[in-house]
């Protein structure tokens, strides 16, 4: 078995000005450029219909790009069908072949790769071992739980040692507890084997948890690419700010810019923060709900419009003269009453300036 240990053959993926149109009018992916480094886990994140799954399927070769070039490693695969690409994919529905046993499912791809019978078997068993399904080889997919089926699907894709491994919303059919465990397993296998993984999800928490890099997509194009922390802490626009975690978007005015530091005002409240290239004038401010501090000495005034107790924390809806916002507080023992007038400020380093709409 030692000679048939599964190793990664990770390769980078490159999209150069790739577009995909369906029919004449529907543009599913609009002129995107993307670089996935070898050995990294990159997530495509976005609301439904944003083109993330189409992008994934273009890597797999299940959809052909209408324009542009796709490279895997050094090879131009733009016109290559799925069969001839060294890519495998884990499907949302798992797509296990119901008429084949677990072992036959895992061996399926190997039989087309020129391995001897015993080699195929060894590799398939090693794959099952890797996902913790030793001894399940003769079961039918219908005799496994959802989580186990999911792992068979992963093993089936892994044993081919693909240059790129693709996941299409792999956790959406699992319950919440299993989801956390499976996503940790996937991340662990990816890091152990150093695989290049492209992962599609619409769940931002899942994306933050597993990714080296996140590609946020909107309306067929890329809104922002960055590490989870960069996206969370420095979103480029309101869409990204709101999509990655919740954010309050507040109107503000940039009073002065001094080098990298801007001074803004919201009503009478003045605050200093990185300017991010913006000039004097009206702008937007993105603030996470947990980063709003209620009851500071300096700040703007607001009224508590709604107070909700959810166990671990309090959730408040605050009404200010310029709009409402959402805040959470860890202090559950002395909740504020509805109608209370409060002063609201920001945690240090927390708000982010965004361009006006």
Which residues bind to another protein, rule: CB under 8 A? 60-62, 64, 79, 81-83, 85, 87-89, 91-93, 95-99, 108-109, 112-113, 140-143, 145-147, 149, 153, 156-157, 160, 166, 173-175, 178
Q: How far is the CB of 169 from another protein (least distance, A)?
A: 12
| Residue 153: closest CA among 221, 106, 100, 198 | 106
Nearer to another protein, 62 or 280 (CB): 62
Q: What is the full DSSP assignment across 154-208? A: HHHHHTT--SEEEEESTTTTS-HHHHHHHHHHHHHHHHHHT--EEEEES-HHHHH
- Shortest Cβ distance from residue 47 to another protein (Å)? 22
Q: Which residue has the tokens 């030793």?
A: 134
Min CB(105)–another protein separation in Å? 9
Q: Quick one: which of 28, 45, 83 has its CA closest to 169?
A: 45
Tokens of 238: 């309101």
Beta carbon nearer to another protein, 80 or 280: 80
**How far, in Å, are 16, 26, 90 from residue 49 at the CA level?**
21, 11, 20
Q: Which is nearer to another protein, 160 or 200 (CB)?
A: 160
- Rounded to a whole number of angstroms, the minimum distance from the CB of residue 269 to another protein is 49
Please, which residue, 47 or 81, has the CB nearer to another protein? 81
Which of 256, 273, 258 is closest to 351 using CA atoms? 273
Nearest approach, Cβ of 257 to another protein (angstroms)? 51
Measure the CA–CA gap between 237 and 255, rounded to whole angstroms.
20
Nearest in space to 171 (alpha carbons), one of 155, 147, 194: 147
| Minimum CB distance to another protein smaller for 100 or for 209 | 100
Nearer to another protein, 45 or 174 (CB): 174
92 vs 350, beta carbon nearer another protein: 92
21 CA to centre of own chain: 24
Min separation Cβ 72 and another protein, Å = 13
**Which residues have CB under 8 Å from 80's CB, separation 6+?**
61
Residue 117 C-beta: closest distance to another protein, Å? 16
């Amino acid at each position: 078995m030692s000679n048939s240990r599964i190793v990664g053959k990770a390769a980078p993926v490159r999209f150069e000005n790739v577009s995909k149109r369906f029919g004449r009018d529907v543009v599913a992916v609009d002129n995107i450029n993307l670089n996935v480094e070898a050995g990294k886990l990159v997530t495509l994140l976005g609301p439904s219909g944003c083109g993330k799954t189409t992008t994934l399927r273009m890597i797999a070769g299940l959809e052909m790009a209408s324009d542009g070039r796709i490279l895997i490693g050094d090879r131009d695969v733009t016109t290559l069908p799925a069969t001839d690409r060294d890519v495998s994919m884990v499907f949302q529905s798992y797509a296990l072949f119901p008429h084949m046993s677990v072992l036959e499912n895992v061996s399926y791809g190997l039989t087309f790769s020129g391995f001897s019978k015993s080699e195929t078997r060894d590799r398939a068993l090693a794959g099952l071992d890797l996902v913790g399904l030793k001894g399940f080889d003769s079961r039918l997919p219908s005799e496994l739980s959802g989580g186990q089926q999911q792992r068979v699907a992963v093993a089936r894709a892994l044993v081919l040692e693909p240059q790129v491994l693709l996941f299409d919303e792999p956790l959406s059919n699992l319950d919440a507890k299993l989801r956390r465990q499976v996503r940790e397993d996937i991340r662990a296998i990816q890091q152990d084997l150093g695989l290049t993984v492209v992962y599609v999800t619409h769940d931002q928490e899942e994306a933050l948890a597993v990714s080296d890099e996140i590609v946020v997509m909107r309306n067929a194009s890329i809104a922002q690419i960055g590490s989870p922390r960069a996206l969370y802490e420095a979103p480029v626009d309101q869409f990204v700010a709101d999509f990655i975690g919740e954010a309050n978007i507040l109107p503000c005015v940039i009073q002065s810019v001094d080098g990298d530091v801007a001074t803004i005002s919201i009503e009478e409240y003045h605050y200093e923060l990185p300017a991010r290239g913006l000039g004097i004038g009206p702008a937007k401010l993105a603030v996470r709900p947990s980063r709003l501090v209620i009851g500071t000495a300096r700040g703007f005034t607001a009224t508590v419009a709604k107070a909700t107790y959810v166990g671990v924390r309090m959730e408040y809806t605050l009404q200010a003269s310029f709009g409402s916002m959402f805040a959470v507080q860890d202090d559950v023992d002395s909740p504020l009453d509805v109608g209370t007038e409060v002063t609201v400020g920001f945690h240090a380093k927390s708000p982010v300036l965004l361009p006006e709409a």
